[in-house]
Amino acid sequence: MNCYMDTSKIEITASTDKWCVMPLGVMIMSVCVNNPDVTITFHILHDDSVSDKDRSDLEDTIVGFKGKTIAFYAVDITRFPCLQSVSLEYGYPLSAYYRLFLPELLPAIPKVLYLDTDIIVRHSLMALWNTDIEDSAVGVEPDGLEETKEFYDRLEYPSRFGYFNSGVMLINLNYWRSHNLVPVFMDYLQKNAKKLLMADQDILNYLFKDCKITLPITYNLTSGFLWTEPKYNYRKYEKELLEARKDPVILHFAGCQPWIAYYKQQAHPFASSFFKYQNMTKWKGRKTDKRPYLERVRNFVGDLLRLFRLKSPRTILYEFIDIPPID
């Protein structure tokens, strides 16, 4: 059998820190529920903020699901000096960069499906998993911000190559190894750290601009594809997108995560899909709030003052289309 076509087992990887353990557990639950008869190994990359209890909680998520296992990989960032160049001012955690080092962190498997932690899987992953990527570095979906001219100007490559979202990637690890890409990633990161606004996603887009295959949007329906003011070519994706919105395989809550306790933005129209699977886990009803105590107090007082002035405490940075929930 072609090593890139395997109907018996799926290899999935994700990166996390302590703040993403809960949504990661919900993502894993959604995968297990919708792929009950498939053998799956979850390869979890994590930093030292993830505790023994966090790992135990994640292992509890797969209990009762046949053929599901979790392997944990504590990432020693001293192995990758280029990470010292990373700026965290744009909100991306350092763990987001771990996917660049998958050939050195994972066992010798030929390919892996990378999933961000802010994702819900709603159907079988087998068709996606068995996509032929033998001659490409990755299989990816276009980003909902694809038509943002600034991306191409900043990264200095032609817009005809497009811009993909790195939250869902079918990764050809054999390709990455044979092309010795880890040093290439590290060199690019060290030389271009100041221009990277979208973290590792910028790196991957620049280096894979002409060695990728484009997958259907249904495998990565990002928030940008649901905005009233699209930043992508609507005519190009219209038919595909209308179908994806009805019944997506993978929902990606990038930029509008339903579990954030304090969000000054419009609720994601498909937030109920996240809560459906969260309610199946030990994190039912759990919200995340990373704000320091003093910031919480300031925000609380500020919101009260705005309410007394009869103004909404929300500041909507973008608006979603009017679309009914799907779960």
Whose tokens are 């899987």? That residue is 121
- 9-254, CATH topology level: Spore Coat Polysaccharide Biosynthesis Protein SpsA; Chain A (3.90.550)
Neighbours of 194 (CB within 10 A): 8
The per-residue pLDDT for 1 is 46
The per-residue pLDDT for 327 is 93
Torsion of CA 321, 286, 326, 92, to 10 degrees: 50
The per-residue pLDDT for 301 is 67
Closest by CA position to 269, among listed 325, 327, 319: 325
The per-residue pLDDT for 270 is 97
The per-residue pLDDT for 287 is 87
The per-residue pLDDT for 4 is 56
Q: How far apart are CA 122 and CA 32, in angstroms?
A: 10
Tell me the average confidence (pLDDT) per consecutive run of 10 residues in the chain, 327 residues long. 66 96 98 97 97 98 97 94 77 88 97 98 98 97 94 95 97 98 95 90 97 98 95 94 97 93 81 98 89 67 62 61 94
Each residue of 77-92: pLDDT tens digit?
899 988 887 877 667 8
The per-residue pLDDT for 8 is 76
Q: How far apart are CA 261 and CA 296, in angstroms?
A: 11
| pTM summary value | 0.91
The per-residue pLDDT for 262 is 75
Closest by CA position to 147, among listed 217, 236, 57, 250: 236
Closest by CA position to 241, among listed 256, 226, 257: 226
Percentage, residues of the chain above pLDDT 90:
77
SS3 306: helix
